[in-house]
Amino acid sequence: MVKVIFKNLQKSEQVRSAAIEKVEKAIDKFALLEPVASTVILSRGQSRAHAGEAEFGVKLVLGGRGRKQFVVQKYGHSIQQVLSMALDCALELLLESFAKERVALRSERRRWKSYQRWRQSFATWNQLGA
């Protein structure tokens, strides 16, 4: 479930549906994140670089059961562009997180197999000595 919050920005059904569609498409790639609610905060403020120009911001909060939350915040001149940049960054963070988890599980399995081999060789050595 994706929740869209508008902050200093006029509510628009088109923007809401586009944000929901993009975030759901990204979440579909990661099955572990599906049951958790994600939040997209769309905001509008003054540009830091140029006076009078509007700057859009997107804050994307993604999380999973038993996982830490990922918070990505991006700013730019087009809300669609900023949303795409935030999703790209969030996907990179998720891929990196899942890769770290996969490496940790692989090393744990490797240690367990090594322990089993050691135990088996120790049992064989005891049988020969007895």
Whether the CB-CB separation of 2 and 24 falls below 8 Å is answered with yes
Sequence ranges of the domains in the chain = 2-129
Whether the CB-CB separation of 19 and 83 falls below 8 Å is answered with yes
Phi-psi region of 13 (alpha: psi -120 to 50; beta: other; left: phi over 0): alpha
- Scan for tokens 């994600």, then name that residue: 38
2-129 adopts what CATH topology? Answer: Double Stranded RNA Binding Domain (3.30.160)
Question: What is the chain's pLDDT, residue by residue, as a tens digit (130 residues)?
Answer: 788 989 888 888 988 998 889 888 887 877 666 556 788 999 988 766 666 678 899 999 887 666 678 889 999 888 889 999 998 998 888 888 778 878 888 888 888 888 888 888 877 777 776 5
